[in-house]
Amino acid sequence: MKRLIEIPANRLPAEGQRVLLRHEETSVLLFNIAGTLHAIDESCPHSGASLFAGKLHGNMLQCPAHGLRFNLEKGCPGAKGMEVRTYPVSSHDEVCIVDLSEATTG
């Protein structure tokens, strides 16, 4: 069964910004990096800190708690075995869709 979050175009983050999305028990961050949208889990895989306030360095996000870094496109681990889930994002007319059922790690 598909688990989708639909975001109207007028609620998408501006370039360089992020928004927090919630769907049932899942919290997702949606980033706009140079006009491309990226969705990742809001929770850091190390000890669960929120990644919402993490610093961006290009498409790398640094966890504000202990500094692990994550690639927003690939969810590459900041350390071995520490992988953040990423989700595919697509656009359909005036709606953006994050597909929670197609998560990938690493």
Looking at 30, 40, 61, 63, which residue binds ligand FES (CB under 6 A)? Answer: 63
Q: Is 100 helix (H, G, I), strand (E, B) or coil?
A: helix
Q: Which of 30, 40, 61, 68 contacts ligand FES by CB under 6 A?
A: 68
Separation CA 50–CA 43 (nearest Å): 5
Cβ of residue 84: shortest distance to ligand FES, in angstroms?
Answer: 9
For tokens 């640094």, what's the residue? Answer: 62
Under the binding rule (CB under 6 A), the answer on residue 60 touching ligand FES is no
Helix, strand, coil % over all residues of the chain, rounded to 5? 5, 50, 45
Which C-beta is closer to ligand FES: that of 5 or that of 41?
Answer: 41
Q: Contact residues for ligand FES (CB under 6 A)?
A: 44, 46-47, 49, 63, 65-68
